[in-house]
Amino acid sequence: MSSISHDADVELFARLQQDDHAAYTEIYGKYSRLLFTHAYKKVGDRELSRDLVQDLFTALWVKRQEIIIKTVPSAYLYTALRNRILDHIARQNVSLGYAAYLENYTLGTNDLTDHLIRHKQLMQLIEQEIAALPEKMRQVFELSRKEHLSHKEIAVELGISEQTVRKQIQNALKIMRPRLGVLFVLIFLFEK
């Protein structure tokens, strides 16, 4: 990469950190296809590749003021994408193991220790995903799913409307569902 391109990228990221939406759009236009191609080569799934890249760019905008780039901006993007791919593979391995366990369990095998380990791994993944939600969304989601408060009780406690509570929970589920798959839905059905 030429130093002119590197300097332009550094400038773009500096503008991004100052809430410049045009800089974000320019970064997206410059790198989204390249990152998609890179992700597709690694995971071989177009939809998943799109989701991983979209997740990266969403996080880039949401956390724009917290980002510290110690290298070339393009290297930061590729590293962030690589980390998302590795996280996806790790979650997929845990999910596949849990699904295999469920299949064996329904066939009559009952290994309590194995169940507890897989359950703990899945719950850790879910907790990580909940912790990664934006603060207000996380707070609403935890009050709903962990404290089992009604939408009305949450609205009163946080001083927001029930509609806002409903929307925050819907958005949290929308963010988490693709990342954790069907097992995410199952675990909340059985934990209630």
The domain that holds 181 is classified in CATH as 1.10.10.10
- Let me know whether 58 and 94 are in one domain: yes
- Let me know whether 5 and 94 are in one domain: yes
8-state DSSP, 133: S
Of 84, 110, 136, which marks where a domain is finished? Answer: 110
Selection from 80, 89, 82 nearest residue 58 by Cα: 80
| pTM beyond cutoff 0.85 | no
Rg of the chain over all Cα atoms, to the nearest angstrom:
20
Q: What is the dihedral of CA 126, 164, 136, 66, to 10 degrees?
A: 100
Selection from 189, 181, 95 nearest residue 145 by Cα: 189
Q: What is the mean pLDDT of each run of 10 residues along the chain (192 residues)?
A: 68 88 92 93 89 90 84 86 83 61 53 66 78 87 82 90 89 74 50 41
* pLDDT at site 105: 54
Of 76, 95, 110, which marks where a domain is finished? Answer: 110
Per DSSP, helices labelled H in the chain are 3-17, 21-43, 46-62, 73-106, 112-131, 135-145, 151-158, 162-180, 182-191
- Let me know whether 69 and 153 are in one domain: no
Cβ-contact 142, 118 below 8 angstroms: no
- Let me know whether 14 and 71 are in one domain: yes
**SS3 state at 161:** coil
> How many angstroms separate the CA atoms of 73 and 88, rounded?
23
> How many angstroms separate the CA atoms of 152 and 133, rounded?
21
- Let me know whether 96 and 186 are in one domain: no
- Let me know whether 147 and 106 are in one domain: no
- Let me know whether 129 and 38 are in one domain: no
**Number of independent structural domains in the chain:** 2
Of 45, 78, 110, which marks where a domain is finished? Answer: 110
- Let me know whether 90 and 150 are in one domain: no
For the chain, what is the largest distance between any 2 Cα atoms, rounded to a whole number of angstroms?
Answer: 64
- Let me know whether 4 and 97 are in one domain: yes
- Let me know whether 178 and 160 are in one domain: yes
Range of the domain at 69: 1-110
- Let me know whether 121 and 46 are in one domain: no
